[in-house]
Structure 1
Amino acid sequence: MAEFPPENRALVPHPARLGEVVTVLGPGEADLPCRTGGRARDRIAELTALVLDLAGEGVAIDRLAYRKSLEARSPATIKALANDLACYARFCHRVRGIGLPAGEGRVVAYLEDCEARGLSVATVSRRLASLAVIHGLLGVTPPTGAPVVRDALRGFRRRRGVRQRQAGPLRLGEGIGIEAARGFTLTALLDACPGTVAGLRDAALLSLGYDAGLRVSELVAIDCGHISRLDDGAGVLDVVRSKTDQEGRGGEAWLSPETMRRIALWREAGGIASGPLFRRIATTRTRAREAVPPTRLDRLAWHARVDPVRLEGAPARPASVTYRIGEHALTPAAVRMIIKRTAHRAVDEGLVALFGPERDAAIAALSTHSLRVGLTQDLFASGEDAGPIAQALRWTSTTTALRYGRALTPAANATARMLRNLRG
């Protein structure tokens, strides 16, 4: 492992095991299979195949308009369209008939089928919105805007309620804001990251994701050139593109000096000079082996297996670990796995006081959005208003910020601030 400067050593909680030989093969020194190539093209092909399968014989598709419409959408949107249309296609195959364009009655029947299968209001609303987009691609007026469909959706929302399940927040830690954060915190997860190459990467990813309040698509898209260092040790991240900025106007996010130190540790350990900041790491471990003394042939039993190692002996071999750093960025699924895996490690090391079903539920609630939710709640807890929070986290309105901070808003609103002093 590389020798780190004294000011950074406190950020490496678990050094390499005594006597273990550590080898790091940087980007380009080892081949790692790329799992992301062609995925966006596959999604477009999947979506096109579904549209053609569901379309009636008399439906004419404007190929140019269809292609340009898809090019204007992000890969995540195309993935959502393909998944939602696949759900509608399964319904159509069960009930038979022409799937596209859909009549008002068919859309209402699909909505009722989704409700019967226990889908959430948010999921059904998104699938109807996707169905409207598909009709737009075909140049057909979407049936989802018909009064009977709107009334059916309104009744579904009334029966189920519209409150969405929120990702479990990863707030900074104890003593932050009005009430100390309980359960999993960013501090606990950072303490659970080992001082291995993979642990340094995970700690840098978690720290940066919290500071900047990033969506997972923004987090995996970070390039080394997107980060600039300030004179006081802090940094600025250039958020090139986001969910609410598909045209790439850009935005900036401030990074703490601690996050900048963690990024420097990861880049030094992984040999990351340029390109994607957070990359896949393949780890290979070998156990230690004691020396094998040579054995004379006449000392072997008549039925013993003869091999060169037994006859010639073998030297002792220390335990070793080899890290191979990839050249491509992590996927969103890999980020989700890193968060879950680190949470399990935090529990195993006694850094989180959760047990049994409560622990399992808390881990299940963690997602790639937990860092963004946690930062939002900490900002509300520190007394910030929804407007500045929405601006800092690059939302176009305060609605989402208020929803994320809903659990803390009653304790931070104007009534709470007044009555805390008058009726404490």
Structure 2
Amino acid sequence: MTIKKVKYYLYLKDVLLLSVTAFGGPQAFLAMVLDTMVKKRNYISEEDLWELNALCQILPGPTSTQTISAIGYRIGGPNLAYLSLFVWILPATVLMIAAAFLIDFLQENTPGALSFAKFIQPMAIGFIIYAAQKTIFKMVKTSEATVLMMMAAFISFFYHSPYVFPILLLVGGLTTSLNYKSHPKQKGDRKLMISWANFYLWGGILVFAAVLGALTKNQSILLFENFYRNGSLIFGGGQVLVPYLFTEFVEFKKFLSSEEFLTGYAISQGMPGPTFSISSYVGALSMREYGVVGLLTGGFIAAAGIFLPGTFLIFFVIRFWDQLKKYRPVRAALEGVNAVSCGMLIAAAYLLFEPLDSNLFNVLAIFGTYILLQFTKISSPLIIVIGVLAGIGYNWIF
């Protein structure tokens, strides 16, 4: 890959600009990175960008965050990568923690405070359905993958334990890896030269946090472990994170109500930066019983837990990816992992709709949101603003 040494502050200034202007999801993010970091700044070549993004897509964790960190790593080493990670996630994290403060304050002081979210709660499901459609058409291309997707959706409907999801991903990957002979061979050196330091760091923190949480029962440590585990297992972007968080924190632990969760997810769709920032909102409300300190602590712990695993893993794999991608079983396994992720998205739409009233109003709000996303050029933030204003107006009139 082409490497260009740059001054840290120039790259970090560009990352900060992206973090506060990158609305519209992964596609808009990539377009902005291409324009800013390739065409204007020439940090890396366009070919390098697509290869890095493809690598990040097949690893667990937030793709946009890993891509930013990987570019930083390529042009400035680990120090610039960690600094760019911090700059990229900070604005969205702060905004979502502020949203958690607002929701908690309204819940405590104003009866029926979430009436302003009357529209955006079902609208959140419209966003999920739209994301599922886009993801399925992109990732599910064979009959085997379709079957895996439907099986994953079916199992996720009926087994809501957060521990089911990693098992489904593993089974999906193993299933399609057996069909590796359908993938063409690639020429090149087959010998892998692996530096294991970042892998040990990733795995060591995962085990240490789990053991320490089990021994101490400290909620901060348990919360970090929850998000670190989720960040280590999520394939397919922020939309796939939703069923994990909903199952674990709403249904399993009951830290949030479904109403609060849907409101937070809808708000996150109007925020710039990484879509994984919904984790900060969930983490903050999970520790609201400890007051302001708890809200702040929970939000930042969740952000650290959800974003660090993917960063460690991209640093680990990027060193030997050119050799690893030549192995057909590796490429074949991705098909099953992606199919299972799509099945989870289908289940997420159902799981999020289940707590809502099954009435015409909610159905129309979901369908209307999907129509706006699919057939108009109205941005996600503007759609959310329209939903909030509609909810406020409805509450004021009726």
More strand by share: 1
Which is greater in Rg?
A: 1
TM-score (norm 1): 0.25
Q: Which has the higher contact order (CA 8 A, sep 6+)?
A: 2
- Between Structure 1 and Structure 2, the one with more helix by share is 2
TM-score (norm 2): 0.26
